[in-house]
Structure 1
Amino acid sequence: MSYRDIRRTLRRLGVIATGLAAMLVTVVVPGTSAQTAPGCRVDYSVPSQWPGGFTADVRVTNLGDPVNGWRVGWTFPSGQQVQHAWNATVTSSGAQVTAVNASYNANIATGGSVSFGFNGSWSGGNISPAAFTLNGVTCTGRVVDEPPPTAPKAVVAAMQPGWNLGNTLDAIPDETAWGNPLTTRELLRHVRSEGYKSIRLPITWTNHHGPGPGYTIDPVWLGRVRDIVNWSLEEGLYVMINLHHDSWQWINTYPTDRANVLARYNALWSQIATTFRDHSPKLVFENINEPQFAGTANDEENYRALHELNAEFHRIVRSSGGGNTTRLLVLPTLHTNADQGRLDAFMDSYDQLRDTNIAATVHFYGFWPFSVNIAGYTRYNAEVEKDLVDTFDRVHTTFVSRGIPVIIGEWALLGYDRNRPGVIERGELLKFFEAVGYHARTRELTTMLWDAASFLNRPELRWRDQGLHDLIRSSWTERSGTASSDQVYLPRSGVITAKSLTLNLNGTLFQGVRHGGTDLVNGIDYTVSGSTLTLTASALTRLAGNRDYGVNTAVEARFSQGVPWRIEIISSDPPTHTASTGTTASFSIPTQFRGDQLATMEAKYADGTPAGPANWTTFKEFGHIFEPDYAAGRLILKPDFFTEVKDGPVQLTFHFWSGAQTTYRITKSGTAVTGSPR
């Protein structure tokens, strides 16, 4: 998947100059509960030192599963002694030192950190400790390589959650062609530290092999793939590799070019299988991304073609020896779609292969109209929820209930793209992501987030939307409460009245509303009646401040678990437009948004019928057909809109999130377009 179409060496720090000793030691240890690939990093530094004394800071970052109760141990190499400690109980026996958690910091979540410090004495030297232990396990500088599970269901469960290195090794023609930087070990380490257990490496091989009959893979490219696989495994991640965009570049011609496609397909998988046959069983193979075929008459022919490729893939890998005889193989449904016919066809192929060490994979990008914001589906409503639940139920019933594990190899929303903000309103998007986490978890489905750089800023190693990441991460273990909206709109001037939202508790308990670090007062600032939360007029007046256009501030609805629900307090007036002229290649409507945000646009001819593309609905596709440019004060109508608009007048209705609606009339005559407000 690409939105163009629809992390062995750990970094070490030495002694810091200016006479202050500082050391970064990466340690890998299990916590007190069962873990699959535990690990942590310890930063030991001496921020101040004086004759005979020093202050030390110790920061422990947990890279593995959650730790409940910790004990850090080390040996002082030059006779130092701890005199006074904070945030831990520190004891010594000769040169051996042990720091034990305090009552309030015993838990370290995956990716979380805890810090403690102490004052100490020294004589003759103050050399930093060379190694640490955590809970009795010696620090090794890498993730503990515990034997992974071998049963397919356990392997797939251990892969949850997963992340896609999208638009990278699958980019055409090379790794950086679609705007992403070269993959680094630090990136993979960061992904693991953020709680992910597996990484899917989509790989397009088309431009990286020679001609037939050998189809020899470029050794430089294969070496690059091998490096990233090895780095990922050494960071404790499960890894899944595949043939990616090859699916539509040449594999799709299989029905009409069987001999050539099969020769190429077999040659590539033979080389890949041989290269990786002695790798850890934490490496799994997925044969084709989103398989599709051209030149067929019906789906029965498509299913037959896919089974033949599945059988060849299975034969090649299993016969290549080494770990491949038992390696987990992942097979897709046709188009990696989860309609029942596709699932049933998978079962037929699975039964014929007679190998239980196989997992199924499908992709999920949500209910299509909501996923791209078309046909008026601006909200995560009951219909969108039903599509999610029905899809996951079908997959669970058909596969999981029969012992076949399932990987949702890609999931997100098609319209979510950092380059096109606002296609899906953030609160509605949050509800979808929260629900996917819950419904997948309760149906034992492993999910692998599709990230083409819309989620993780790779050069900076930070999430573009930290709140969204927090909610996704929370959904792996618990539910979060939401509300009917994450916005409260107030008039720019005039009287402010109370505003109500419906709480979606999702099994949590409502605990209150907070503004910054201050709890609002129940009965004065807000009231709760059943599932209705009402912010009072007096509280809103205070929160709105000088009522400048746009977001004035935000409050949080807090629940008994999960991530708080952010509610923005926004001042706005109805947007206004002015007349405009342009062409079908370049036309925009001058607009004063006045603090409001666009939700969707309707287009109708004079007789009320839909105008423009998707002529089955008056509501056009956000981002593809139209988009707001808030900074420049304009609404853009894309050329794709005009390609299917007849000459003559068209009435546009703009729907805004405040509830405001505006109308605008455009007239197309050949390539000329004029427009004015109605």
Structure 2
Amino acid sequence: MKDIRHLPRHRRRGPGRLASLLLTLLVMLGLSGGTALAAPDGAGEASRSTVTVPASAMDAVAAMQPSWNLGNTLDAIPNEDSWGNGQTTKATFEKVAAEGYRSVRIPVTWSAHQSATAPYTIDATYMARVKQLVDWALDSGLYVVLNVHHDSWQWVEKITSDHDNVMARFNSTWSQISTTFRDAPRTLVFEGINEPRFAGATDAQKFQYLRELQTSFHSLVRASGGANANRLLSLTTPDGSPDQAFMDDLYTTITSLNDDQLVAQVHFYSWYPFSVNIAGGTHYDATAQKHLDDTFANMHKTFVARGIPLYVGEYGLLEYPNHFHPSRVERGEALKYYEHVGYAARKYGITTALWDPFSYLNRETLQWRDPALFAWIKSSWTTRSGTASFDKVFVPKSNPVTAKSLTLNLNGTSFRGVWQGKTKLNAGRDYTVSGNQLTFTTKALTRLVGDRAYGVNSTLQARFTSGLPWNIDIVTNDVPVLSNATGTTSSFTIPTEYRGNDLATMHATYADGTNAGPTDWTPYQEFNKAFSPDYPNGTIILTPEFLNSLRDGEPATLVFHFYSGATVTYHVTKSGTSVTGTAS
């Protein structure tokens, strides 16, 4: 997975020079395989955690649930701190273990620290640093998955045009990794290649190249001796995709190797339109839910039900959370997704690893950036939580207050009631429940909106017999007001009075009905890529990518959709580098 690279730089100090030299010497002498080294930041001598790994691969992978990714770190290019996560310390792994994670995936990109020609030697200092992090994680009582990561698109994909050299480099890479870690405990898992891709290849060719790579990986590791003789090895599909044809081919590869210590791996980032908010994917709706249910059922049927453990080495949403831009995915809809993943993992016996490039755990403070979001993720490991059709009730200011309803999603729980803080609302007077319809009365909403200032006036909690409560904001709103504007293709914003609304999506077409914008297969353009709300400054930004894609001199009709259900039409015309916007 490639993620945001323009992240704030951390300034945590790295290992001391003497410690680095010591690590390098130990690796070169082959003496660093079985003993944890002293942490260079003064953490002291660590004692290797004694985690008993079940003999059965299925049981071992089950013991790895839940899992977490140290993303955008050792996989960053060219160096560990290049993508903003600073220098990892042992405290990172101790924090993750203390929060209930039982395994960590450590993605590693080797290319910047390896000679590009034979014998493709990996820099000893870098290998020592990788080993240091692996040892810290193992010492924290975690299983560890170690891989070859962004090398997949940096040089492995060139196998279609440079087969022999790519195979030689791949084999050399794994030979060196296997030698370094041959005596590491079986809590260390090897993953051959992350999201493999093959330039210009058909699916059939992808299967052929990947089978060659993974078969060679398997043979090299097994022949390297030590604990590698029965170490768990993870094999994946092209791009890590859970498409059925790809999983079927992986099943064929695994069974052909006749090795009961193999693990299947795929990645899961939800229904694409929802994951990035494109093509109208503004809600975790029935289509997105069915996509998850069907995918996890197929994972189980293809692998788990046939005795092969499955590790979802990355899961999340492709553009959520993002702490540097407005969120593409509405918060409550994102919570529904994470809750559903946790349930599906338990239902189908699948181990899942949260992809964390930076967005969840602050690597500097070792605190969760959004504790409430993490609470939902953590709760999903053991139980279901009830939700509702949305996490807001909109009460238009321009109209008299009337009763409003939400649909409850019980998810196997029972509804207990509604609270405002520590006060329980009165059933019958403040709200009613009929079937799965929760309706707030006119009297209650009149009290809850107060002076009817635009925005969130109060927050309630729907509580259930298990899991976490569902927050419901009571929001005063009116239809947003957009104003005329002028600008250029490099800088254009629409003055916007949001009036208590949040922007959901933008529909863009020409007069002839064809789609306007860089994404030509749908009129609903991609959030933050074609347009973006700027709530503090009261504007909607149309991006240069969107504006430069417009036909010259031909007006495009934009319809902005808001989560309240309000829509506003706007017209924009590009003429050369000049842009004019007109409100309807």
The whole-number CA distance in structure 2 between the counterparts of 1:451 and 1:496 is 43
Residue 2 (structure 1) aligns with: 2
> 1:195-240 CA distances to partner (integer Å, 9 max, x unpaired)?
1111001110010112421211111111111111111111111100
The whole-number CA distance in structure 1 between the counterparts of 2:396 and 2:290 is 35
Match of 1:640 among 542, 545, 563: 545
The whole-number CA distance in structure 2 between the counterparts of 1:643 and 1:152 is 53
Residue 356 (structure 2) aligns with: 451
The aligned amino acid for 2:581 is G
Residue 404 (structure 1) aligns with: 308
1:534 aligns with 2:442: no
The whole-number CA distance in structure 2 between the counterparts of 1:281 and 1:151 is 12
The aligned amino acid for 1:244 is H
Residue 109 (structure 2) aligns with: 204
> 1:367-410 CA distances to partner (integer Å, 9 max, x unpaired)?
11111111112111111111111111111111111100000000
Residue 510 (structure 1) aligns with: 415
The whole-number CA distance in structure 1 between the counterparts of 2:186 and 2:219 is 18
1:655 aligns with 2:561: yes
User: Post-superposition shift, 1:143?
Assistant: 8.3
Residue 379 (structure 1) aligns with: 283
The whole-number CA distance in structure 1 between the counterparts of 2:246 and 2:216 is 20
The aligned amino acid for 2:99 is E
Match of 2:123 among 210, 218, 235: 218
| Preserved contact between residue 598 and residue 654 of structure 1 (Cα < 8 Å) | yes
1:478 aligns with 2:383: yes
Bigger shift: residues 232-241 or 417-426: 417-426
The whole-number CA distance in structure 1 between the counterparts of 2:269 and 2:231 is 28
The whole-number CA distance in structure 2 between the counterparts of 1:492 and 1:141 is 62
Bigger shift: residues 361-370 or 347-356: 347-356
User: Post-superposition shift, 1:4?
Assistant: 3.1
User: Post-superposition shift, 1:494?
Assistant: 4.8
Residue 290 (structure 1) aligns with: 195
The whole-number CA distance in structure 2 between the counterparts of 1:198 and 1:229 is 11
Residue 46 (structure 1) aligns with: none
1:664 aligns with 2:570: yes
The whole-number CA distance in structure 1 between the counterparts of 2:462 and 2:344 is 23
Residue pairs, 1:539-618, within 5 angstroms = 539-618=444-523
> 1:4-63 CA distances to partner (integer Å, 9 max, x unpaired)?
39xxxxxxxxxxxxxxxxxxxxxxxxxxxxxxxxxxxxxxxxxxxxxxxxxxxxxxxxxx
SS class of match (2:555): strand
The whole-number CA distance in structure 2 between the counterparts of 1:218 and 1:160 is 33
User: Post-superposition shift, 1:141?
Assistant: 9.0
User: Post-superposition shift, 1:142?
Assistant: 6.8
User: Post-superposition shift, 1:310?
Assistant: 0.5
1:250 aligns with 2:165: no
Residue 86 (structure 1) aligns with: none
| Preserved contact between residue 253 and residue 295 of structure 1 (Cα < 8 Å) | no
The whole-number CA distance in structure 1 between the counterparts of 2:583 and 2:55 is 66
Residue 185 (structure 2) aligns with: 280
The whole-number CA distance in structure 1 between the counterparts of 2:381 and 2:573 is 51
SS class of match (1:288): coil
SS class of match (1:643): helix
| Preserved contact between residue 46 and residue 139 of structure 2 (Cα < 8 Å) | no
User: Post-superposition shift, 1:614?
Assistant: 2.0
The whole-number CA distance in structure 2 between the counterparts of 1:455 and 1:419 is 13
> 1:605-624 CA distances to partner (integer Å, 9 max, x unpaired)?
11222111222221111111
SS class of match (1:254): helix
1:299 aligns with 2:193: no
| Preserved contact between residue 174 and residue 220 of structure 2 (Cα < 8 Å) | yes
The structure carrying a bigger helix percent of its residues is 2
User: Post-superposition shift, 1:493?
Assistant: 5.3
The whole-number CA distance in structure 1 between the counterparts of 2:50 and 2:451 is 58
The whole-number CA distance in structure 2 between the counterparts of 1:540 and 1:192 is 44
1:322 aligns with 2:245: no
The whole-number CA distance in structure 1 between the counterparts of 2:174 and 2:567 is 56
SS class of match (2:313): strand
Bigger shift: residues 488-497 or 578-587: 488-497
Match of 1:392 among 282, 292, 296: 296
- From the superposition, tell whether residues 141 and 353 of structure 1 become closer, same or farther in structure 2 (CA, over 3 Å): closer
Residue 461 (structure 1) aligns with: 366
TM-score by length of 1: 0.78
1:266 aligns with 2:171: yes
1:191 aligns with 2:92: no
| Preserved contact between residue 2 and residue 166 of structure 1 (Cα < 8 Å) | no
Match of 2:253 among 331, 349, 352: 349
The aligned amino acid for 1:569 is I
The whole-number CA distance in structure 2 between the counterparts of 1:319 and 1:631 is 60
Coordinate RMSD, CA, aligned: 1.5
SS class of match (1:347): helix
The structure carrying a bigger strand percent of its residues is 1
Residue 366 (structure 1) aligns with: 270
Match of 1:227 among 101, 108, 132: 132
> 1:142-174 CA distances to partner (integer Å, 9 max, x unpaired)?
785242212110110000000011111111111
Percent of aligned pairs sharing the same letter: 52
Alignment length (residue pairs): 543
The whole-number CA distance in structure 2 between the counterparts of 1:508 and 1:181 is 42
> 1:44-97 CA distances to partner (integer Å, 9 max, x unpaired)?
xxxxxxxxxxxxxxxxxxxxxxxxxxxxxxxxxxxxxxxxxxxxxxxxxxxxxx
The whole-number CA distance in structure 2 between the counterparts of 1:358 and 1:304 is 19
The whole-number CA distance in structure 1 between the counterparts of 2:572 and 2:529 is 18
Bigger shift: residues 538-547 or 189-198: 538-547
SS class of match (1:600): strand
The aligned amino acid for 1:659 is G
* Greater RCO, CA 8 A, separation 6+: 2
